Each structure stands twice: as C-alpha cells, then as structure tokens.
Amino acid sequence: MDIGFIGMGIMGCPMALNLLRKGHRLTVFNRTPERCEEVVAAGARRAESPRECARGNAVVITMVTDSPDVNAVIFGPAGAAEGASAGAVFIDMSTISPDETRVIARKLSERGVAFLDAPVSGGDTGARKGTLTIMVGGEREVFERVKEVFEPLGSRVTYMGPSGAGQVTKACNQILCAVNLLGVCEAIALARSAGIDPRRMHQVVTGGAANSWALEQLGARILSGDYSPGFKIKLIQKDLALVLDAARRLRLPLAGAALANQYFRSNEAHGEAELGTQAMFKVLERLGNFSLEGET
C-alpha cells in the first residue's frame, strides 16, 4: 500500500522500517526533520508537512505523543486532513483519550475519511521486532480493509469494537503495566533490604507464578542499573492521567493506578521524567533509605 507515516520517534521509526521491509511504499513526516533520516535512507520519501505526507496515500498512520499532538498533525495548519483523499483511512497508533478519539473520527468522517484508533503495547523492543500487540477500534469493515498494514507491525492484532475501544483497551493495559512494575520494584526493594541477593531472588521468582514481562524485562534492567528509556516516565504519566480521568468520570476507584501515578510523580519531582519507567525503583530507594548497590 501507499502509506503516509507521521511520527518518527522511538516507536514510529522502527515501525516504519518494518513496513518498508514488507514492500509498502512510505512517505514520512516528523516535526523534528532529522528523525526521518534513517527511514528515508531505507527508501521512504520525506514530506515537508503532514498535508504532503497524506496526499495520495490510501492509509495515513500517526504515532505521536498525546491528544493535542494528534489533533495538530491532522487538523492543524498544513494538517494531514487537508491532504487526504476521500476514502483514505487514518490510523492513529498513539495513546490518547478515548473521548478525543471519537471526536477525531467524527470530524474525519465529515470529510469522507475513515478512522481507526490502534494503540500498541510492547515498547521499543516490540516495535523493532514487529511483535507489538495492537488493539483496534473503529468500523469493522475499515479494519478488515487495511488489516494487512498491521501485519508487519504486530504479532497480535485484535479488533476491539467501535471508535475509542482500542484506546480503552490500551488504558487497561497501562494500569497493568504500572501496577505490575510497582510490584517488581517492591519485591527487589524487600530482597535488598532484607539482605538476600536480589539477583538470585529474581532468578527464582521468574520461574514461578509471580513471573511477568515486567519482572523479566524491567526487573533485569533495574538489577543492572539500566534506567534508559524503553518507555519514558513522562509518557506513562500521560497515560495514567487518561486512566484516572476516565475513572473519575465513571466514579471508579483505581487505587493501584493512583499509587503508581504518585510514585512516578516523585520521579518527575527529582528530574527523572526522561528515564525509563523502571526508574520507579529510585523512588523506593529514597523512601526506604537504601541503595541497591550500596549500604542499607
């Protein structure tokens, strides 16, 4: 297919490369132009605006940070909506508000353009390997029409329901990511503070019922002192804000998500928003007055 792809960040760049490897023809745009260089070198065409990125393409994918960013690249000056042909399909793979998703879908529909919300899970590793989990909302017929676009990107692609359903599913995913990570950090903190080898503890419990992706992957990063971002704290905080806003409107208590949000807020207060989410462990170190490698 002819695809426009807007957003060449940590996730978008490897996703675009996977589409190129499968033979799709790509036009790419990023608000920081130099981030397009790797994809252009691999065979994509660089656009100078979202409007140019959308022009002539059957599918336009957006992978940016938040609801205002999606609106800006679609409906802002020289936005993608201005360049879209009637019958085109826009696929937003960002994580944004379900309510905002429905508004975007309605506004594009008025222009004769279909819209799918298709947020992803799997981090930068899944983006590079093409093994993302993709949760899709929108009209089923539109999903079936462009399903082949998702195949190079994810190993599990699931249609979830009408517009916004993909984003609600992603919100559920982010609750689990945040609360699982809190459990990982607390387990390592207890092992260290009680005087047992946290690495040996990690080796043991990854073989039992307590195992999880967060324990295997992020736990290992904590133990090696690696706080580089696969997914940044500032981004999980954006997602948890969406979760807690939805919970407020539904009058639904989500104490675990709220606690994780507060721990990450401590990270932000200490200038750690650009670190990976596993840096939540630093909050436990400060609260417990210990260091993983130093004296308790």
Q: What's the pLDDT at 82?
A: 96
Evaluated on CA atoms 119, 122, 127, 129, the torsion sign reads negative
Quickly list H helices, 131-232: 140-145, 147-150, 165-194, 198-205, 213, 219-223
Q: What is the pLDDT of residues 217-240, one digit of tens each?
A: 999 999 999 999 988 999 999 999
Q: In this predicted structure, what is the pLDDT of residue 183?
A: 98
Cβ neighbours for 179, distance < 8 A, ≥ 6 positions apart: 256, 257, 260
pLDDT digits (tens, 9 = 90+) for 185-220: 999 999 999 999 999 999 999 999 999 999 999 999
**Active site amino acids:** 170
Share above pLDDT 90 across residues of the chain, in percent, rounded to a whole number: 95
Mean pLDDT (whole number) for 104-113: 97
Q: Which residues contact 251 (CB under 8 A, 6 or more apart)?
A: none
pLDDT of residue 124: 86
Q: How far apart are CA 53 and CA 35, in angstroms?
A: 15
d(CA 108, CA 163) in angstroms, rounded, equals 12
Residue 86: CB atoms within 10 A of its CB come to 7
Q: So what's the pLDDT on residue 296?
A: 47
3: enclosing H helix or E strand: strand 2-6
For residues 192 and 190, what is the distance between their CA atoms, to the nearest angstrom? 5
Instruction: State the Cα angle at 153 between 43 and 178, rounded to 5°.
Output: 130
Nearest to 89 by CA among 48, 36, 30, 149: 149
Question: Is the model's pLDDT at 20 over the cut of 60?
Answer: yes
Map out the domains of the chain with their CATH numbers: 2-162 (3.40.50.720), 169-288 (1.10.1040.10)
Longest dimension (CA), the chain: 65
Q: State pLDDT tens for residues 149-176.
A: 999 999 999 999 999 999 999 999 999 9
Q: Answer yes or no: is pLDDT of 294 > 80.
A: no
CB 148 within 8 A of CB 19: no
Alpha helices in 43-164 (DSSP H): 50-54, 67-75, 80-83, 98-109, 123-129, 140-145, 147-150
Share of the chain above pLDDT 70, in %: 99
pLDDT band at 123 (very low <50, low <70, confident <90, very high): confident
- Is 291 a residue whose pLDDT tops 70? yes
For residue range 22-74, list pLDDT tens digits in order: 999 999 999 999 999 999 999 999 999 999 999 999 999 999 999 999 999 99
Q: Which of 219, 245, 199 is nearest to 99 (CA)?
A: 245
d(CA 171, CA 212): 19
